Amino acid sequence: MTERVGTAILAVLAWVGDVSLFGLRALKEAVRPPYEFGETARHVFEIGWRSVPLIATSGFAIGVVLSMHTRASLERFGAEAMIPAGLAIALIRETGPLVTGLLLSGRVGAGIGAELGAMKVTEQIDALEATAVDSFKFLAVTRILACIIALPLLTTIMDFCGIFGGFVAEATVSGMSWHLYFRRAFSLINFDDFIPATLKTAVFGMIIGTVASYLGFTTTQGTEGVGRTSTRSVVFASILIIMTNVVLVKLIFFFFPERA
Amino acid sequence: MDGTAPEETAASHERNGEPAICLDHVTKTFGERKVLDDVTLDVRAGTAFCLLGRSGTGKSVTLKHIIRLMKPDRGRVLVHGRDVVALEGRELAEVRRSMGFLFQNAALFDSISVGENVAFPLRRHTDWPDARIREVAKAKLADVGLENDYDKMPADLSGGMRKRAGLARAMALDPDILLIDEPSAGLDPITADEIDELLVDRKKKGTTLVVVTHNIPSARHIGDEFGMLHEGRVIARGTPEELERSEHELVRAFMRSEGSG
């Protein structure tokens, strides 16, 4: 039993090591010419722009729910005036970045894993290599970079849609004006709250792009393997995002102690 | 070993002309299974070499070694005198640009149109304007009878049409070497003949062909020299007439077969 657990732990560590090397290689290749600007921009559009409806809708709904919960808690202490600020802090510092990362690991991670997996099993990746194109750079690096660029932008959209959702909920209950709500929401927030929390999603983007691309490139066993890659991309990226978030929050508190 | 021994043939070919491709004692193992077992063969520039053999004997694997999609466990693979096994990066890309590869299942990029599949190598490796790239891609598609299918998606094509589109893509950059994996598989006899004619035409223009096929009439039409792989080894090598007189019953049976595909 102990031996089996040990073997499993070693296998997990070996896998994490392989994925990390894959990601580091991607970063190294990203700064080496020739650059794939066009392909990267196309993926930023595919990954970023096409995710806006999901992120905006989710952000709005989360804002509404957070507002209701915040009201229920603060009402007891007669601190309703703090509702906009409380919601904005929760959204911008933690909820927005984490939920965006998890939603994107589902939408984008599954998509990248399935697409590259299908290309692998149908020899399209080999066909790229045969036409003298660096498949790693063309397929993996461009998608990883696109995820790194898109995640902070989408997180910003999530934050603002969430705050807007909170306003709609609050205005419905208390009739608070738009102007007053936003003044109160941003009264306790400054760039030190927004920048580190939003930029940490670039790391989430790196995780999503790297895990999904790695799994896509190592897909075997035909269409069944493609399905497995798609599922694993979501599961592994989500777990890694949640675990990495713990470390990143600790680092943010270390470098910005006033945020703790 | 049958017909002429590979070493003797290699020597005689060296005298006749520089080999464009040379596999030198190549061995490749997948798990427990030795797919290529000390394979040595060479293909003279401007000739057509037909690689025969039953399914699963390592023919496609041989082609993939030539374009360095696979690395051998042992041995060297020389293309125009350069060992592709040792090449990486730009040098490898340079050698690959001199080759075109038709995959067994065509391996078209399914997210772009048929025409853009053919245009893809041109967009990557030339600085031609878009109009010229489209014009050349259309001409390559016309060569394989797909002039009206530029804007179709690969999923909208039949298996035979995909194969032809794959051939057009392989020829897009007018490579010195064409590696063709089963050109007539899935094609009707008339189209298969047209593809054979196209390959013969390419050969006359100086392109070196390595063709994996089970279609003996097609191979006789295209090929200058045949090699037969069996259980990872080259068991026969020579002209069609030499293989017909082979001491191996399997080789003679293969040469007698008229099956297509």
Q: How far is A27 from chain B (nearest CA, A)?
A: 17
The CA angle B57-B191-B202, to the nearest 5 degrees, is: 75
CB contact, 8 Å: B94 with chain A?
yes
Distances (CA, A) of A128 to A145, A217, B40, B64, B137: 20, 13, 27, 13, 17
In angstroms, rounded to a whole number, what is the distance separating the alpha carbons of residues B188 and B186?
7
The per-residue DSSP string of chain A comes to -HHHHHHHHHHHHHHHHHHHHHHHHHHHHHTSSSP-HHHHHHHHHHHTGGGHHHHHHHHHHHHHHHHHHHHHHHGGGT-GGGHHHHHHHHIIIIIHHHHHHHHHIIIIIHHHHHHHHHHHHTTHHHHHHHTT--HIIIIIIHHHHHHHHHHHHHHHHHHHHHHHHHHHHHHHHH---HHHHHHHHTTT--HHHHHHHHHHHHHHHHHHHHHHHHHHHT--SHHHHHHHHHHHHHHHHHHHHHHHHHHHHHHHHHH-GGG-
* CA A155 to chain CA centroid, nearest Å: 8
pLDDT, tens only, B5-43: 444 444 444 444 679 999 999 999 998 899 999 999 999
Asked if B51 and B229 touch (Cβ cutoff 8 Å), the reply is yes
pLDDT of residue B176: 94
Query: How would residue A229 be classed by pLDDT, with cut points 50, 70 and 90?
Result: very high
Instruction: Retrieve residue A69's tokens.
Output: 């919960």
pLDDT above 80 for B50: yes
- pLDDT tens-digit map of A21-39: 999 999 999 998 888 999 9
B150 part of contact set with chain A, CB < 8 Å: no
Residue by residue, DSSP assigns B62-104 as: HHHHHTTSS--SEEEEEETTEEGGG--HHHHHHHHHTEEEE-T
Q: Are strands B82-83 and B19-30 parallel, antiparallel or unpaired?
A: unpaired
Q: How far is A85 from chain B (nearest CA, A)?
A: 46
What's the pTM value of the predicted model, to 2 decimals?
0.88
pLDDT above 50 for A86: yes
**What ipTM does the predicted assembly reach?**
0.88
pLDDT of residue B255: 87
Q: Do B96 and A131 touch (CB under 8 A)?
A: yes
Say yes or no to pLDDT of A259 above 70: no
Q: Which of A131, A133, A134 to mutate to test the interface with B (most CBs of B within 10 A)?
A: A131
Min Cα distance B210 → chain A (Å) is 15
User: Which position has the higher pLDDT, B157 or B256?
Assistant: B157
- How does pLDDT run across B65-98, given as a tens digit for each residue? 999 999 999 999 999 999 999 998 889 999 999 9
Q: Of A161, A147, A135, A159, which Cα lies nearest the Cα of A56?
A: A161
Question: B94, B110, B153: which to substitute to probe chain A, counting the most A Cβ within 10 Å?
Answer: B110
Per residue in A142-152, pLDDT (tens digit) is 999 999 999 99
**Using 50, 70 and 90 to split pLDDT, how confident is the model at A124?**
very high
B23 strand-pairing partners: B41, B77
Q: Which residues contact residue A109 at a Cβ distance below 8 angstroms, ignoring those fewer than 6 apart?
A: A208, A211, A212, A233, A234, A237, A238
- Is A133 an interface residue toward B (CB < 8 Å)? yes
